[in-house]
């Protein structure tokens, strides 16, 4: 997988991790439609645009950053 360094320049490490996880799923053969549908199934706030297209894929990276790299439910506060 080749990532243009300019795409992650200025991102925090956590945001870059979320972005790279999104791109990793593409390398595994998943499309944005598949990623979006799967994420929407577990988080209804993740939605396609009014035309049913996944044009805002930043929400995928944000979800991965929040839930996979920021420690959600990996701390005593998250397990309450």
Residue 19 belongs to some domain of the structure: yes
Taking CA 70 as the corner, what is the angle to CA 56 and CA 40, rounded to the nearest 5 degrees? 35
Residue 22 belongs to some domain of the structure: yes
Domain span at residue 38 reads: 12-69
CB 65 within 8 Å of CB 15: yes
Distance CA 1, CA 25 (A): 11
Residue 74 belongs to some domain of the structure: no
Q: Is the pLDDT of residue 60 over 50?
A: yes
Range 21-38 average pLDDT? 95
- Residue of 9 and 30 predicted with greater confidence: 30
- Residue of 16 and 7 predicted with greater confidence: 16
| SS3 track for 1-66 | CCCCHHHHCCCCHHHHHHHHHHHHHHHCCCCHHHHHHHHHHHCCCCCCCCCCCCCCCHHHHHHHHH
Q: What is the pLDDT of residues 31-57, one digit of tens each?
A: 999 999 999 999 999 999 999 999 999
Residue 78 belongs to some domain of the structure: no
The tally of domains found in the chain comes to 1
């Amino acid at each position: 997988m080749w990532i243009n360094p300019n795409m992650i320049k200025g991102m925090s490490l956590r945001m870059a991790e979320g972005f790279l996880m999104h791109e990793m799923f593409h390398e595994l053969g998943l499309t944005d439609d598949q990623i979006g549908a799967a994420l929407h199934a577990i988080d209804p706030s993740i939605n396609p645009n009014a035309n049913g297209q996944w044009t805002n894929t930043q929400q995928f990276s944000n979800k991965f950053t929040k839930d996979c790299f920021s420690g959600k439910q990996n701390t005593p506060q998250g397990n309450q």
